Copies of this chain bind each other. A is one copy, B any other.
Amino acid sequence: MLNPIYIVGFVDGEGCFCVAVNKHGKNRLEVRLIFEIELREDDIEILQKIKKVFNCGKIYRLDYKRYQKWRPHVKYKVSNFLDISTKIIPFFKKHPLQAKKKLQFRKFCLVAEIMQTKQHLSIGGIERIKKIIHKDSLDALDAHVQWGAIETN
Contact = CB atoms under 8 A, between A and B. Distances in A.
B100 A46 contact: yes
A136 to B, nearest CB: 11
A110 B99 CA distance: 32
Contacts of A12: 6, 9-10, 13, 46
Contact of A43 (B6, B7, B99): B99
Contact of A13 (B5, B9, B71, B98): B9
Nearest to A141: B71
Contacts of A7: 9
Interface of A: 2-3, 5-14, 40, 42-43, 45-46, 49, 71, 98-100, 141
